[in-house]
Each structure stands twice: as C-alpha cells, then as structure tokens.
Structure 1
C-alpha cells in the first residue's frame, strides 16, 4: 500500500479533474438512428468531450464503449444488433415485427459517474419486412411502451396500446424507481383508433422480467396464464381493452435494474356475437 502522502495527492488531483469535467453537459437532445444491423446514438456536448459513452452494464467491454478524444464536441456510439452489449430483442405480435432496446449512458468523467451524467433508454421497432417505422428515446427506465398501428379499414386500424407499472394501485403515478416489497400495479390499456366503435379484444401474454444482461424469468406464458403467481398472479380483465394486476416490487440478486415486457394480442371480436372469445 502506498504512503498516505501519495494517496492524498492522488485524491486531490482526482477531485480537481472531476470538477473540471462537471462543467460540461449535453447540448440539445441525443438522436437515435435505428439501422437494420445496428443502432447509433449521436450526442453533442457544450465543451470538448473526454468522457465515455457506453451500453449500460458493459462499461468494461471495449466493444460496448466509446471514449471522447477531448477535442471534438460530438460523440457517437454504434451498437450492432448482434453484439454482446445487452441489446434486448423481442418479437412483436401486433403489429408483427421485432423490437430492439438498450440503455446508453453518457459519462463526462473518464472513471466515475457524476451528477452531470445521463442515461437514455433506446427502443427501436421494426416491421416484419425490416422497415424502420418508429424509434423512441426515454431519459429513464421505460414505464410505458406504445404500439404503433396500421391504418386501413375499421378492423385493420389496431388500437394504440400501452403497458404501465404504477405506484400503489391502478390510479397511481408511473413508477420508475422502487423499493423491494413496494406495492405496484401492472396495467395494460388500449384505445380504439379511427373509429368510436370498439371491435377488438385484448389478451396479455408472454410476460418476461429480465435484468438487461440475459437473465430472465417468465411471468405469464403464451396463453396468458401465470408462471409464478408469487410474482404476478392471474390477470384481471376489466373490459375488452383493459387489464391489470396488483403485485410487489422485486429484483434479481445483485442486479439494480429490472425490465418488464409483455406481448399484447389484439384480435377482432366474434362477428356473430360481438363478444371476445
């Protein structure tokens, strides 16, 4: 171990360096480009950038991190869809396609996370034909997911749906950060688009919770039945296009963040009875 005199000197230099970097910050909003083979996030800073931009949870992996050169004010990170940088792939049923998502962090200090740093959740959704039709950028964990819709006739115009994790109950605010054991309410709702008459039915299924790094646990199976009732019990359908279930906050051991995802199946009502199956 080094003598205390040297330790204090190093500590002092670190603090000075950190204070200098804290003067820098983002200029405007980041831009995300959803490519067929990769996702690129472009950022601009007010001062020359000398920190790091990396995929959350993969700072130590060089392929998942970009270092600023201390000269330019722009920094771009490109993450291949097939890379091992925590990119999460999910099949979509309505509309059919694939969604890819990841969390990117901009860190102004080379070694430490500080109050100036930001985390951005990137969600790219692709149609079955690999055509990009939307992209989303949230400065937080993802509390809701919007499902884009087609727009042909009454049956083809799918409802706009969202998934929320709410604090306390079905009328609570969206929850981004929680404590283990805290009561929450999982809520799925859809709103008819293009017509005042609702002709669709909603089924929630294939719900998964994961840590963003490959560890996952199914909560609902493909039929919408509970896999582990202790985590998420049978879904309560309150109408044709609304469902929910109360639960509690939980997490994987030694993992600070969890991601919830569910598939929403939207079907046309029985034409004879006008009822959901």
Structure 2
C-alpha cells in the first residue's frame, strides 16, 4: 500500500495493488493484477483520476476509482476506442487511435481538465496537459475539446508508450466550476474561452 500526500491540490492518495500469479516462475495470460486508489481532496478540484492502458500480453484488471463527495458531480476518466462514446479499452497497440474522455455530469457545474501526466510506473512522469488545460505537446495530446454544456471533454490520440515499458498510466485533475460565474473565468489556451471558441 502506498500513501502519498500532495500539495496541489491539497489532499492524500492511498493506492494498493495486488498481483495474482498462478505459476511461481512464469508470467502467464491467466495472471491478474488488481489496483484500487482512493483520493481525498481538500479543495474544489475533485481529484486525480486515473486511467491505465496496458500494452502487453498480461492484461491487469483495474478497479475504477470511487469517490463519495456529497455535493460534487460524479466524475470519470476513460479511454475509448473508435469515438468518444465507443467501448472502453484497457489494451491497445502503439499507433492505434483512442479517445480520452472526461465526464462530470451536473446541472450547474462545468469542468476543466488540467495537470495531466503520463507515467511508466518506474518513476518517469511527463506533463501532457498543463494547469490551464492546454496540451503541452500537440503531437502527444492536443488540448481537450469540451461539450457545449461543459460537463465533458475528450481528445483523440494515437497510442504511445515509454521505451522498454509495456504499461502506461494517465493521471489527470478535473476542476469543477459553477456554470453561473466561475466557468467564464477559466480559460483554455489563447484562442478559447473555457468551453467555447472566442
């Protein structure tokens, strides 16, 4: 079990992973890995959402993070095949087209996807969407596109991986704003007002 505290946003992350290996010496396709993560946040940022993409013969089963915040919308981050509403994927091939989809359905709230990182599980972590919601390297991941009601965002990308690594993990923050006033103060990039072209 790993317990990490973070300053931006202020909170605590607890993560536990369990691997079930059926053979004592060899990794087989019958082996399974299970990971659970709890994020406790102390600000308007709902939390870090994680979506893993396994690029190997072994296909671990990830348990989706669960959050129980009373007044906040229930948010999700998934990787999908074919379109933003296509089937969820956990295994892909380098170069394959996939859609990263962030959703926080709520009547009076909108979202900003920010501070997204890709990790290799070995300590290497690269920023791909900055604190303002802008894609850092448009070739890796462009700035997300937002729905007109600001409750969801998506971005199509081509699958990539770290050299000598077969699993990558995406971690993003989703900032919640009130559509009545707070969402208009947030901006994505130089040519966009939050959620709309200007």
TM-score class, shorter: 0.7 to 0.9
Q: In structure 2, how many angstroms separate the alpha carbons of the residues matched to 1:211 and 1:106?
A: 21
8 Å CA contact 1:143, 1:176 repeated in 2: no
**2:116 pairs with 1:211:** no
Shift of 1:203: 0.4
**2:22 pairs with 1:108:** yes
* 1:41-120 correspondence to structure 2 within 5 Å: 81=3, 93=9, 97-120=11-34
Instruction: Give unmatched runs, 5+ long, in structure 1.
Output: 1-38, 40-79, 83-88, 129-137, 151-156, 193-197
User: Hey, what does 1:227 align to over in structure 2?
Assistant: 136
Encode CA deviations 1:84-108: one digit per residue, 9 max, x unaligned. Answer: xxxxx76785xx6222335321223
Q: In structure 1, how many angstroms separate the alpha carbons of the residues matched to 2:179 and 2:167?
A: 38
Using a 3 Å threshold, how does the CA distance of structure 1 residues 174 and 256 change in structure 2: closer, same or farther?
same
Secondary structure (helix, strand or coil) at the match of 1:258 reads strand
Whose RCO is larger (CA < 8 A, sep 6+)? 2
Using a 3 Å threshold, how does the CA distance of structure 1 residues 171 and 127 change in structure 2: closer, same or farther?
closer
Aligned length: 169
**2:104 pairs with 1:190:** yes
Secondary structure (helix, strand or coil) at the match of 1:124 reads strand
* 1:129-140 correspondence to structure 2 within 5 Å: 140=60
Shift of 1:186: 0.8
User: Hey, what does 2:172 align to over in structure 1?
Assistant: 262
Q: TM-score w.r.t. structure 1 length?
A: 0.54
Q: In structure 1, how many angstroms separate the alpha carbons of the residues matched to 2:79 and 2:13?
A: 20
Q: Which has the higher strand share?
A: 2
Structure number with greater Rg is 1
Instruction: Give unmatched runs, 5+ long, in structure 2.
Output: 43-51, 53-58, 186-198
Q: TM-score w.r.t. structure 2 length?
A: 0.74
Shift of 1:199: 1.6
User: Hey, what does 1:246 align to over in structure 2?
Assistant: 156
Q: Which has the higher helix share?
A: 1
